[in-house]
A and B are shown apart, each in its own frame.
Chain A
């Protein structure tokens, strides 16, 4: 399957202004402070949204899990509830 090509678009928005992605996703700047921005995302229920660092942590953990050794169930069985 070919890799999806992406490009980064850069916009400057003020508080209460928004962006529309595709036909169904709207991102609104709800509040701005010196150190952070509060962002609201309105999207159809089938679209999930995550903090990037959380997504990356899950991704890293899956990659590590795929390298796992076969579990020694004789050791683990002792600690598992029936």
Chain B
């Protein structure tokens, strides 16, 4: 199918790349179809392209590239929504918010996106009791590492 994107013109999306987000996303509850698009120039980011209206795209990235210790518990309702019984099979991404000055880019570590490739569905999970931030800074300096050391 063809989708007219905001940033990348018209893209051809094969049917087998279409992901169903049963509940949409918070803020975009009526978008139920997405695709994960890879572009060489965006790596290591990918983007989650809406295939419904509005044709938004969200920049996503593997959270382990930023924090290798990132981990969270999934609820039954999360697993059920992506037709999965084994969390190891799920792909995990976090959404990036990138303002005009990219120095201030942040990642939403409190609401990761889980995708079940096999079943072609996904969901943005809101973590309960989360020690993670909605605005986790993308660029960490030595200051960030010092904070981690203090908490240990």
Contacts and interface: CB of A to CB of B under 8 A. Distances in A.
Contact of B95 (A55, A61, A81): A61
A48 B75 CA distance: 9
A62 B26 contact: yes
Interface of B: 7, 23, 25-28, 30, 41-45, 56-59, 64-66, 68, 75-78, 80-81, 95-100, 102-103, 105, 108, 110-111, 124, 126, 128, 134-135, 138-140
23 contacts: A45-B80, A46-B77, A46-B81, A47-B77, A58-B124, A58-B134, A61-B95, A62-B25, A62-B26, A62-B28, A66-B58, A68-B97, A69-B98, A71-B42, A71-B45, A71-B96, A71-B102, A72-B102, A76-B44, A77-B44, A81-B64, A81-B65, A81-B68
A73 interface: yes
B36 to A, nearest CB: 15
A8 interface: no
Given A73-B45, A80-B66, A48 B100 contact: no
